[in-house]
Amino acid sequence: QCASLLREAMWSRVSELYLDAPGIDYVAYTEENLVRLDAALENYRTKYGILKS
């Protein structure tokens, strides 16, 4: 889930720069996906712990 949300956030970030479709708010879509990614990462860390390098 984290990888999927990261991919979607990066896709929408690039779309902010290069696409201009009427009625689509790429900035808001990016923010939505980053918030969801943050929640998914927190869930992962809670469930599996944090790896130390």
The CA-CA-CA angle for residues 22, 26, 8, to 5°, reads 130
In the chain the beta strands, taken as DSSP E runs, fall at: none
pLDDT in tens, the chain (53 residues): 999 999 999 999 999 999 988 999 999 999 999 999 999 999 999 999 876 66
| pTM for the model | 0.82
Q: How many domains does the chain have?
A: 1
**Enclosing domain of residue 40:** 2-48
Tell me if 11 is assigned to some domain: yes
| Measured CA distances, 19 to 23, 30, 50 (Å) | 12, 13, 36
Only one residue has tokens 């996906």, namely: 33
Tell me if 53 is assigned to some domain: no
